[in-house]
Amino acid sequence: MKTRKRPNVVIFFTDQQRWDSSGLHGNPLNLMPTFDRFARAHTHVAQSFTCQPVCGPARACLQTGQYATTNGAVDNNYPLPKDRPTLATCFNDAGYRTAYFGKWHLAAGPIGPVEPEDRGGYRDWLASNILEFTSTPYQTTLYNNESELVELFGYRPDVMTDAAIRYIVEHRKERPDQPFMASPVDQTVSRPHPGRAAGAVRPRVGGEDRHQRPVAAIGQARFEL
């Protein structure tokens, strides 16, 4: 009997997202077209609630499946204990390759690099502990497996998503028989709307108005998966 191939898993976690950012909930600005399309084509949970609305504890709950009072990360000053099982450790045990991108905010110590033992079991890493303290929306500073600084230039959601795509493409080439679980995490839901408040300063990249440049020229190359 032929063994069924295990699916790859991508967990895309958005941060600081209001419920009404989505077109499915009435937003007319088309801020999340890809998420809206996924929701229409697959499963859309119309009403969902967080068990912990604070940044670090909410992440800890998602990673462990436990309430903050159980996993120990009860507020932003309490890191996730190293012995807690996480999504990554469960997928690792099932033979998956696990990768994390973006903001972690579950480790003690520096705001940037995260020690391997504090990464919740993720094997491949391109992240920052507190992303908003090491990056701006148009200049992203992350740290790799060896805690080396990696800088990405362009709109942060674009370049971080592109980094995850490159990882997936490379993984498929190097380990075609091993499934992966990849989790890109960003703080910015959507590209800023050019018609925002009068007087606001437009970010510039290379001396050019960022909003006048085509999207393909800002991020890295896109891949069809």
Q: In the prediction, which pLDDT does 24 show?
A: 87
Q: How far apart are CA 162 and CA 45, in angstroms?
A: 27
Is residue 32 within 8 A of residue 21, CB to CB? The reply is yes
What are 12-60's pLDDT values in tens digits? 888 877 888 888 888 999 888 988 998 999 988 888 888 888 999 999 9
Fill in the amino acid letter for 34. T
Q: In the prediction, which pLDDT does 50 show?
A: 85
Q: How far apart are CA 61 and CA 105, in angstroms?
A: 12
The third-level CATH classification (topology) of the domain covering 1-39+86-189+211-225 is: Alkaline Phosphatase, subunit A (3.40.720)
Is 209 a residue whose pLDDT tops 60? no
- What residues have CB less than 8 Å from 25, skipping those under 6 apart? 19
- Tokens at 36, concatenated: 């809206």
Is 83 a residue whose pLDDT tops 80? yes
Is 207 a residue whose pLDDT tops 60? no
SS (H, E, C) the chain: CCCCCCCCEECCEECCCCHHHCHHHCCCCCCCHHHHHHHHHCCCCCCCCCCCCCHHHHHHHHHHCCCHHHHCCCCCCCCCCCCCCCHHHHHHHCCCEEEEEEECCCCCCCCCCCCHHHCCCCCEEEEECCHHHHCECCEEEEECCCCCEEEEECCHHHHHHHHHHHHHHHHHHHCCCCCEEEEEEECCCCCCCCCCCCCCCCCEECCEEHHHCCHHHCCCCCCCC
Q: Largest Cα–Cα distance in the chain?
A: 66
Domain extent listing, the chain: 1-39+86-189+211-225, 51-84
The model's pTM is 0.80
Q: How far is CA 96 from CA 6, 7, 118, 174, 181, in A?
A: 9, 10, 19, 14, 7
Is 191 a residue whose pLDDT tops 60? no
- What residues have CB less than 8 Å from 199, skipping those under 6 apart? none
What are 122-157's pLDDT values in tens digits? 999 999 999 989 998 899 999 999 999 999 999 998
Q: In the prediction, which pLDDT does 17 show?
A: 79
Q: How far apart are CA 85 and CA 122, in angstroms?
A: 11
